[in-house]
Amino acid sequence: MFDGWQQRPGPRYQRLAGAVAEAVASRALQPGTRVPAERILASAVGVSRGTVVACFDELVQAGVLRRRQGSGTYVVGRPSWASSVAPASSVAGLLLRRMADDRSAIDLSVSAPSDLRHLPEVDLGLAWSTLDGHGLDPRGLPALRAEVARHLGTHQRLPTSPEQIVITGGAQEALWLLARVLRPSRVLASCPTYPGLPSVFGGDTITGVPADAAGTDANALARRGGSVAFVMPTGHNPTGLIMPSLRRQAIAAIADAGRTIVIEDLALADLVLEGGPVNPQPLAALSSEVIAIGSVSKLLWGGLRAGWIRLGEDRFRGEILARKAALNLATSSVTQAVAAQLLAAVDEDWLTAHRTALAKRRDHLCSLIEEQLPAWRPARPAAGLSLWIRLPVADAEAFAAVAARYGVVVSAGGTACVDGRHRGYVRLSFAEQLDVLSLAVERLAAAWEIHTQTLAASPVTE
């Protein structure tokens, strides 16, 4: 199990942790197995007991191992990254990045731009002129609220006033606030769905509903019912689908009926690459009952951490602001000021050029996969920043661990799967530059060759 662990990158305790995690992922270590005591394992692999303690700490934090007082340390289960202890999207990426060489690893698990070359040119000195007072307004900086309202009305066909906007630390914080205010007993979401959803609402709360080529099934939403429904009509994450108009109208009608609160995620709505209008009408434009969220992370840069909640009605506004103030008083005013200047510079010419560049990267990645990984089956997305790819395996987690060793971090399908049907998928971001994507596929092809050889030598019954 530990063959070659010394050659892995990173500190010794992380190398050891990577070897154990990969053994659990490949079922060489089964759930319930008691791992050797710290001193015994340290002696066996020739390291200090402290190194093994740090290794176990890492794996316990990731939800792979569990310590039992007076009994020992046991394998909890395969590192599915979806336990109630550890949110799916964060722990998977964290451990895989640590298994990879941080200095040269290519991270395709995060569907967001990783450099700043695409950003519109702005005079950031103007940002300071928007700052005033103590900067602790939980509603957000007036300049950014005004720009978000303008952007939604101009580029997303969603007429909005600044008073409808509450600024948050990204769309993830927007979801976190809504989860605490709405307190849903059940959240309906398509399967696959946005990987970060379980970490804010709780994995036991999410109920998968059927989806097809048109997106989330409106009839299924109406039949099953739930206190909250989460939908991404434009640029669905991870599939990149665009919901047609009639389906949007049907889901808006469900929101109007008042039995289910619909949350619409518009984080990728600006990135329609083909297949119809570049700005399909949002659900929130069809029903004032729909709560919309969004951010600048996908369009501009994730590091800005600036997002928003758009409320069609005011009934939750007071509670959201109270939760926001209790959480962190307000989103950083400096971040908001920079985001406002950048968003103000986004016009149709910039959007057209940006979409064209992204479409070229998407097509480049699809072509590389077709040439070098012909067994993979990517779905060509109409919008968004990532490919959703079917692999000829029952579960892609073990391959994700191998890919990390070869310097590419990918998101295994289990992080986006609610009902277990999509564990054989991976999600790859195409937001990187063309040369980076080319190198990433070369590494993935090498990792896939090793992985398939391992599977052939040690077949696993799923």
- Residue-level pLDDT at 18: 80
> Do residues 200 and 176 make contact, with C-beta atoms less than 8 angstroms apart?
yes
Instruction: Name the pTM for this structure.
Output: 0.81
Q: Which two tokens stand for residue 158?
A: 């969603």
- Residue-level pLDDT at 103: 56
Spatial distance between the Cα atoms of 450 and 403, rounded to a whole number of angstroms: 10
Spatial distance between the Cα atoms of 231 and 209, rounded to a whole number of angstroms: 11
What is the torsional sign of CA 270, 275, 281, 287?
negative
- Residue-level pLDDT at 48: 86
Rg (the chain; Cα; Å): 23
Domains of the chain in start order, with CATH, are: 5-75 (1.10.10.10), 88-111+349-457 (3.90.1150.10), 124-346 (3.40.640.10)
Strand ranges in 234-366 using DSSP code E only, listed in sequence order = 261-265, 291-295, 307-311
pLDDT in tens, the chain (462 residues): 677 777 665 677 878 888 888 788 777 788 889 999 999 999 888 888 888 988 888 888 777 898 888 889 999 865 543 333 333 344 445 555 555 555 578 999 999 888 899 999 888 888 888 888 899 999 999 999 999 999 999 999 999 999 999 999 999 999 999 999 999 999 999 999 999 898 899 878 999 999 999 999 999 999 987 799 999 999 999 999 999 999 999 999 999 999 999 999 999 999 999 977 888 999 999 999 999 999 999 999 999 999 999 999 888 999 999 999 999 999 999 999 999 999 999 999 999 999 999 999 999 999 999 999 999 999 999 999 999 999 999 989 889 988 988 889 999 998 899 888 999 999 999 999 999 999 999 999 999 998 898 777 654 444
Contacts of 238 (CB under 8 A, 6+ apart): 111, 192, 194, 195, 384, 386, 388, 411, 416, 425, 427
- Residue-level pLDDT at 89: 41
- Residue-level pLDDT at 10: 63
Spatial distance between the Cα atoms of 236 and 231, rounded to a whole number of angstroms: 8
Q: Which two tokens stand for residue 338?
A: 């920079």
Q: Which of 411, 367, 395, 413 is nearest to 451 (CA)?
A: 395
Single-letter code of the amino acid located at 128: W
Spatial distance between the Cα atoms of 212 and 225, rounded to a whole number of angstroms: 19
Phi/psi of residue 104, each to 5°?
Answer: -130, 0
Gap between the terminal Cα atoms of the chain: 20
What is the torsional sign of CA 44, 48, 53, 55?
negative
Single-letter code of the amino acid located at 8: R
Spatial distance between the Cα atoms of 206 and 419, rounded to a whole number of angstroms: 10
Q: Give alpha helix (H) positions in 62-117.
A: 88-99
